[in-house]
Structures are given as C-alpha cells and as structure tokens.
Amino acid sequence: MKSFIDYPENSDFSIHNIPFGVAVFDKEYIACATRIGDIVVDLATLYDFGYFNDVDGLQDNVFEAYTLNELIELGKPVTRIIREKIQSLLLEGSLLSKDEKSIEDCFFNLDEVKMLMPVHVANYTDFYSSIEHATNVGKLFRDPENALLPNWKHLPVAYHGRASSIVISGTEIIRPKGQTKPKDQPSPVFGPTKQLDFELELGFIINKNTELGDSVSVEQAEDAIFGLVLFNDWSARDIQAWEYVPLGPFLAKNFASSISPWVVTLEALEPFRTDSPKQDPEVLDYLKTTGKKNFDLNLEVALTPDKGTEVIISKTNFKTMYWTMAQQLAHHTVNGCNIEVGDLYASGTISGTSSDSFGSLLELTYKGEKPLILNDGQKRDFLSDHDTLSMRGWGEKDGVRVGFGEVVGTIVPAK
C-alpha cells in the first residue's frame, strides 16, 4: 500500500497503522482524528463530506465527540470497517486524494493541533505481568531464591488504580508528597518523594459493556479490546515501600499516570503477533489460550535532564510478557466483574532479561544503589525535578512499521 501523503520510512504512523485519537483543530474545534505521517485528519468533517456514507452500522457522526468512547462502542464489526475505509481513502489514486476541498478542510499539520485524552477512562486496572520485572523486584525486596510469590504463575496479579489522574502525554507531572519511613528514623516523615520513578507499560482499552455477573472468556477477550496505548505508571518508591503492606500501593501510584494520544488498534498490530512464553506450571482451564497472543513490539525509554541531551536508558520488547492481554481480561472478569467502554488495563512494568532492558529506575539502578551516568556526567538514582521522561514503541516486520509515537512527561517540583 502507498499513501498519497508523504512520510518518512521510519514513521510510526504509516498507511498500515491508522490510529485513533482526539484533537483540537483551529484552537477550538474538537473532533476524533486519525494520523498518517505528520498529518492529522479531522474525521468529523470528513464524515460531513460523505466519505463514510457506505459504512454499515455508522448511523451518526460519532466523530463529533470529545472522546473515542462512542466510536469504539460500535464494536469491532463496525470499527474494523471504519479503519479499512480510512485506509483506502488515504491510498494513492483514491477519490479523496483528488478532492482538494476536503484535503484543505480536513488535513492539518501535526504542529497545528493539540491532542487530548483519547478516551474517557471509566475504570483503570494495573497488572503485574512481566516475569522478569516481578523477579527483579522480588530479589530486591525478598529472598532472591523465592523472588516470585506462590500465586504469581497461577494468575495475572493486579490492583485497581485511580482513573481520574490518568493524563495525556505532555502533561507536567507534579512531584507527589506523602509519608515515608527512612531507615534512620524511628517514625515516618512527611514530604515530597525522593524516589520518583517511571514504569514502562502498554495499556489496552475496552470497547464494550458487560452485565454484573458475566465473564469474558479468553476466546472472547480480543473482541472486547479496541486497541493499545503507551502507558507510564509514575511511582513514588519511598512512599510505596511504607504504605503498601498489606493492601498495596495507594498514594505512591494514584498521583498520575500518562498515556500516549493515539490508540493503535489490534488490527494494525496483527503483523506483529508472536508466541507467548511457555507457562509452567500449566494454568487453569479458564486461562488456557491457543494461537499467537503476544505482540513483537520494540520499546524504549529516554531521559532528558533539564537543559541537557537525551539518553536512551532502556530498550526492551513487549513479546516477553508472561501473561497475555486475553488472559488478563479473562481473569479480571471470571468472578463476574463487569467492564465498561473506555476501561483501561495496563500491562504492568515491561522488563527484559538484560540490565539495559529493565522498565523502571528501581531495577535499572538497583534501588538507587547503582546510579545511571548521563551524557553530561550527571547521576540519576531516581528522577529529579525538570527531568523529561519519554517512552516510545513500535512494531516492524517485512517493511511494515506501526508505532505509538511517544508518551512524554516532565517532572515539576511539589506544590
């Protein structure tokens, strides 16, 4: 496939992608959008010009919305056709390629628009599904010989997080405050975290509602997943260490999580399907899957200090995840928990096996004991004020590249 829109060969937003997001056009008009190269396409106006008249199941202009929720609730049979329709319109020689009026009114350069939160997040759950990450953390805080807790290989461990503090890429991250318990202090102290960290994750977004008491099976799971985003689950490690027993993280996590603006559909990621790691011991029947359920997606993390230059601090891959998205959703709902359109489920920190492939500073610096050395000689055990953290992700195979762009956040001092 070749588009009539020019873009670099290494663009995440090729004709093979066709992601969905929400943009502010002309500084005031908000609508659902797609992106090809560095061109953002206003889908609501394109609808008004009649380009979606032949799409069955699309009765109204769902692109005239402040979120993608109404669009993705149409379900895969409709959204798949919408994506394929957009793809065909962007091909060389298409009717749209010759429609100068529509191109003038619907196509915008990336620097002319502002991206918003793509979905209204109804509920947010964070999993803990990388065996490398779970093992690393277990070794840091427990007996290295028993790094994984007994339940870890039997079910996808998770906790419910705060949906209201999930923010769009580019939002400044205010250093959180809370209680910590220094080793040399008899009692806890209060103040800004001294161990602010990132967590490299991907998140998937739900496209349907279910009734309380119903379950989504592993076979049905991917029909309920619209697409994926990059996800940075910011973490305050010193606050977490003091508060998490016995109920898990609270203030250490709920102050902010960042997502990328473009939702990449499962259909766009089909070329990158791959086998999952072998699960041993064998999982229970409701978690057993067939076929390729993991995705070969390259991930990297970059840190840019204030007035400094960017340094890549981690490179890893999503394909190593022990628990798949299908298993995560099946387990989440097997007890009858209902799901809602816009629900966001994060993978948990994605780490590889080598020391340069870990998905958090907690692992990369061995709890801060082995600081990273940046290009200018600065050291980082955890994040400093005015540091900028960028995460990127993409799949590439046989000349096809599909990516997420990036999710970016800059740390600002505590209020």
Q: Annotated active-site positions, please?
A: 133
CB 156 within 8 A of CB 127: yes
> 397 is written with which tokens?
């195979």
Residue labelled with tokens 């009858």? 336
If we measure between CA atoms, which residue out of 17, 255, 246, 257 comes closest to residue 124?
Answer: 257
Rounded-to-integer distance, Cα 390 and Cα 408, Å: 4
Whole-angstrom Cα distance, residue 175 to residue 358?
Answer: 23
Sequence-separated contacts (24+) of 239-248 with Cβ below 8 Å: 239/176, 239/178, 239/179, 239/180, 239/193, 241/180, 241/181, 242/179, 242/180, 242/181, 242/188, 243/178, 243/179, 248/159
Q: What is the dihedral of CA 98, 101, 103, 104, to 10 degrees?
A: 140
Dihedral angle over CA of 192, 194, 200, 203, nearest 10:
-20
What is d(CA 163, CA 194) in angstroms, rounded to the nearest whole number?
Answer: 24
